[in-house]
Amino acid sequence: MINSILDQLRPIFSSEVFLLMFSMGTFLLGVLIYKRTKITLLQPLLISMVILIPFLKITGIDYPTFFQQTRILNFMLGPSVVALGYVLYEQIEQIKGNVISILTSVFIGSVVGIGSVVLIAKAMGADRMLMASLAPKSVTTPIAMSLSEKSGGAPALTAAFVVICGIFGGLVGPVLLRKMGIKSKIAQGLAMGSSSHALGTARAMEMGAVEGAISGLAIGIMGIMTALLVPFAEHLF
Amino acid sequence: MQGFIPGSVLGMILLFLCLFFKIIKPDNVKSVSVVLSKNMAVFFIPAGVGLMVYAEILSKSLFTILAAIAVSTVLTIVTVALIQDNFEKRRAKGGTK
């Protein structure tokens, strides 16, 4: 009975309009819950995933179909990174005189980040494929996926790690920075963006405009640094 | 390096340069840029839901993956924040750097 109803409804459920609206709807619900409760773990993206994944399982819609129907959202990830160029321009006064320190800190941060994730995974018995997929976890999805593929990882798995890393950094970052007593807005923004890409930046935006803009800048620098460093990290695999 | 830097990052740099050299008026891109950059997380939904496909590999090596990502992320945050903070403090003191 229930199955036959599901079969009837599946064409509607798997339509582009429905899946897009439903995805956005769960996200808006997530924003509402997050704003009401102020609990950091209840990130809108996480709430959205917790509703969407079981929904797809129950209705029997597979992931490629879902991805195909919501591809416009994934596509918009690109333009939203481009938009950070404007946010950055607004904060230009903050960057002046900080160029060397920004480049130095992000460079060392990327060495530490890539080195530690690969070495810890290796110590815990991860295979080559897993290490290659983990190495670029701190950068934005499009860069991470192409780097992963080049060094023998699974790009789609890397996309998952990028999201895990982003959610984790977004949750822990602000708390950690407060505990460390870091007052500098530039240092906070850089740390968020270089460790957790666009998801870290989304959280940095909540901290303030300067933090957000610097975090956006850090995504770009971290992406370039990581692209240059991953080929060296392959020696560790 | 060719092919390593994705279009979106190049786009970000280009937009910044165009604004900087006054090729584009800030007012023309302000509203759309603010909306997009404030709601970035929503664009991660398709990638995030992709976790369901890797449930098996993820659950098999879950501890390794989470431990590696967590420790590495914390280390990255600490290193970057401390170095930048130190640079600023030294400059504020009027030090040599």
Block mean pLDDT (10 aa), chain B, length 97 = 64 90 93 87 87 82 93 96 93 66
Alpha-carbon span B59 to B67, nearest angstrom: 13
> Could you tell me if A144 lies within 8 Å of chain B, comparing CB atoms?
no
Question: Could you tell me if residue A172 is inside a domain?
Answer: yes
B41 vs A44, A83, A101: nearest CB: A44
Given CB atoms, is A226 within the 8 Å cutoff of chain B? no
Judgement on whether residues A164 and A105 belong to the same structural domain of the protein: yes
Same domain, yes or no: A197 and A160: yes
Q: Are residues A217 and A122 in the same domain?
A: yes
CA-based end-to-end distance of chain B: 31
CA–CA min distance A207, chain B (Å): 12
Helix (H, G, I), strand (E, B) or coil at A8: helix
CB nearest B68 (choices: A101, A106, A117): A117
Q: Does A48 touch chain B (CB under 8 A)?
A: yes
pLDDT in tens, A153-204: 888 888 889 989 999 999 999 999 999 999 999 999 999 999 999 889 989 9
Q: Is A77 inside a domain boundary?
A: no
Task: Look at residue A84 in the predicted model and tell me its pLDDT.
Answer: 82
Residue A219 in any domain: the answer is: yes
Check if the beta carbon of residue B20 is closer than 8 Å to that of residue A92. yes
Domains held by chain A: number: 2
Whether A153 is covered by a domain: the verdict is: yes
Nearest-CA neighbor of A87 among A210, A219, A173? A210
Do A113 and A211 fall within a single domain? yes
Q: A139 with A192, same domain?
A: yes
pLDDT category at A31 given cuts 50, 70, 90 is: very high
CB contact under 8 A, B44 and A113: no
- Cα angle vertex A65, ends A60, A69, to 5°? 125
Pair A60, A93 in one domain: no
Do B16 and A196 count as a contact with CB atoms less than 8 A apart? no
The predicted-structure confidence for A75-130, as pLDDT tens digits, reads as follows 998 898 888 889 888 878 778 888 899 999 999 999 999 999 999 999 998 899 99
pLDDT of residue A77: 83
Q: Decide if A155 touches B, using CB distance below 8 A.
A: no
Answer whether residue A188 is part of any domain. yes
B51–A196 CB contact, under 8 Å: no
- Whether ipTM tops 0.85, in short, is no
Whether residues B81 and A180 touch (CB distance < 8 A) is answered with: yes
Are A17 and A122 members of one domain?
no
Chain B partners of A50 at a C-beta cutoff of 8 Å?
Answer: none
Rounded to a whole number, what is the distance in Å from the CA of A94 to chain B's nearest CA? 12
Do A158 and A123 have their domain in common?
yes
My answer on whether A64 and A174 are in the same domain is: no
Is A192 part of any domain? yes
Alpha-carbon torsion (A216, A220, A221, A223), positive or negative:
positive
| Residue A115 domain-assigned (yes or no) | yes
Q: Decide: helix, strand or coil at residue A168.
A: helix
Note whether A101 and A34 are same-domain residues. Answer: no
Same domain, A89 and A53: no
In the 3-class helix/strand/coil scheme, how is A61-130 assigned residue by residue?
CCHHHHHHHCHHHHHHHHHHHHHHHHHHHHCHHHHCCCHHHHHHHHHHHHHHHHHHHHHHHHHCCCCHHH
Is residue A74 in some structural domain? no
Which domain, by its residues, includes A35? 2-69
Mean of the per-residue pLDDT values of chain A: 90
| A40, A94: one domain | no
